[in-house]
Structure formats: C-alpha cells, structure tokens
Amino acid sequence: MSCDFFISKLGFVVEFVYGDPPFYGMVKRDRARLCMRRVCEPVFVGDIRQREHLLSASITVDTAAEIKQLFLEFQATGVTLHQGLKKEPWGARNFIVLDPDGNLILFAGPAD
C-alpha cells in the first residue's frame, strides 16, 4: 500500500490498515479521508492514465489560501506533480500529485 507516501510526503496519518499483508486501509489529514485498496494488476493500459488525466481521487479545500499553502508544502517535500498549481476557467485553483503507484490525486480549492 502507499501509506508511506501519504504519510511522509503528503502529511496524512494512518487511520487503519487491514490484512496481513495489508490490502485495504484509510489515511486522513484534517477532515480529508482517503481509502486505499491494493490492486496487483494494471488498472489502465499503458500511459493512458497520465495522457487522459484520469484521477484516482479528488480532495477539496475551503479557501484559496489553503490550496496555495498545500501546494507549497507538497512542493517543499519533493512530491512529483502531474500538474502544477493552475487556475481553471471554472473558478477553481488546483494541482495534481502523481503517487509512486501512478495514481493521480487532484487537490482543488477556490481560485480567489
């Protein structure tokens, strides 16, 4: 499971893990909860996930200041970004993290 990445790079803590070896678990940070399940087979063929920006999770914060702070924090820990902090035409500001398993995790908040 990717718990180590979420703890060391994204500041989450483990809520629980299940199985021996673990195959299901939950991490949390503030009010955000993210369930994870181990999948041994490729979920997508080739690089389609990155090419088509297919998200595995989306986490939203309440303010523009929070999304900027989160981006700067993750940038400082050396997180690999699929997309940097960007203002979207629909009024959101977001960025996308690439985890070690190839999952794309969107972090979003208001632009202003």
For 48-68, what is the mean pLDDT? 90
- Domain with 97, as residue range(s), is 3-110
Determine the average pLDDT of the residues in 6-16: 94
Average pLDDT, the chain: 91
64 pLDDT band (50/70/90 cuts)? very high
Count of domains observed in the chain: 1
Max CA pair span of the chain:
45
Report residue 65 CA to chain centroid gap: 18
CB 98 within 8 A of CB 84: no
In this prediction, residue 60 has a pLDDT band, given cuts at 50, 70 and 90, of very high
pTM of this prediction? 0.87
CATH number at residue 69: 3.10.180.10
CA–CA distance from 102 to each of 28, 81, 110 (Å)?
Answer: 20, 11, 26
Q: For 67-107, how does the pLDDT look when each residue is reduced to its tens digit (9 = 90+)?
A: 999 999 999 999 999 999 999 999 999 999 999 988 899 99
